[in-house]
Amino acid sequence: MADGTQPAERLSKPAAPAGEHIPEAWSPDGRTLAFLRLLASSSFTGFVRGGSLSTLSAAGGVVKSYGDTTRMSAFSPDGKWLAYTSAEAGNRFEIFVQSFPASGAKYQISTEGGAWPLWSPDGTELHYSTDFGLHLAALDIRTEPTFVVGKPVALPIEALVGGGLARNYDVTPSRQFVIVRAAGAADANQSWMQQINVVLNWQEELKQRVPTR
């Protein structure tokens, strides 16, 4: 348990000795873990390494795969949707949203590349990185009574995700972004020396750049 009162419990084991399982997101009810299964024999180039997004039932250990090119997942706040990155539509990663548990309802969100999706705390927006991880974009999203997405808008924030396997940003309940980035912009993709930047009042700057009618 997270409070340290019980010993650690192993939830998964790679089929190959050199394989890797990388946790990505817990469902809001704590019953399902989304994780990335990396292939032992594959090479690593930026985000591209052979592997697949899978979900694991914490209670029964049942594993379900979401495809060979899927990764970078995030559950919606209500736990009914799973956003992830996939190359299934072509030669680059795009953002998709699929119902959870999977029922066949799946939607492509981005069309010009995207990675590391993240839901807003109230589930009304979806954020993701663009331009090979250099910037963030956001769009309005509605799942009830029908699934509707708005037009992506570039945020005045440099995400500098780089080529890592972990999302380097999050958003607080008050909609402030917290971003871990390299101390020097010149070596953002190489440096392991990182710092935390908190972006305040980004919504006001966004309104100035994209006036609402």
The pLDDT mean for the chain works out to: 80
> Does a structural domain hold residue 63?
yes
pLDDT score of 189 more than 50: no
pLDDT average, residue stretch 52-78: 85
Name the band, by pLDDT with cuts 50, 70 and 90, for residue 138: very high
pLDDT score of 106 more than 60: yes
pLDDT for the residue numbered 207: 77
**Residue 129's domain spans which residues?**
20-155
Q: How many domains does the chain fold into?
A: 1
pTM score of the predicted model: 0.77
CATH number at residue 70: 2.120.10.30
pLDDT for the residue numbered 43: 46
For 139-174, the three-class secondary structure string (H helix, E strand, C coil) is: EEEECCCCCEECCCEEEEEECCCCCCCCCCEEECCC
pLDDT average, residue stretch 131-137: 80
> Does a structural domain hold residue 30?
yes
pLDDT score of 53 more than 60: yes
Q: Which of 148, 135, 68 is nearest to 105 (CA)?
A: 148
> Does a structural domain hold residue 187?
no
> Does a structural domain hold residue 113?
yes
